[in-house]
Amino acid sequence: MSWQTSKDSHEVITAQEVQFQQQGVLIRLDTLTRGISVDDGGYMWRGELRLWDNEILMG
């Protein structure tokens, strides 16, 4: 997964390995890597998405 953010007024683009686990309409995401070092603003995160009408992911 790739995402864009900023740190100290500078653009930061990073890529992280993410694990997806689906249980019915719920999809959980957990990062497996930081993508960049902690000093550069890297961090681990997790999220949750819900599948609506088998078409839309919201979370």
- Rounded Cα distance, 9 and 54, in Å: 39
The pLDDT confidence band at residue 5, using thresholds 50, 70 and 90, is confident
12-57 residue pLDDT tens: 888 999 999 999 999 999 999 998 888 888 889 999 999 999 999 9
- Rounded Cα distance, 4 and 25, in Å: 27
DSSP state of 46: E
The pLDDT confidence band at residue 4, using thresholds 50, 70 and 90, is confident
Residue 53 DSSP SS3: coil
For the cut 90, the answer to whether the pLDDT of residue 6 exceeds it is no
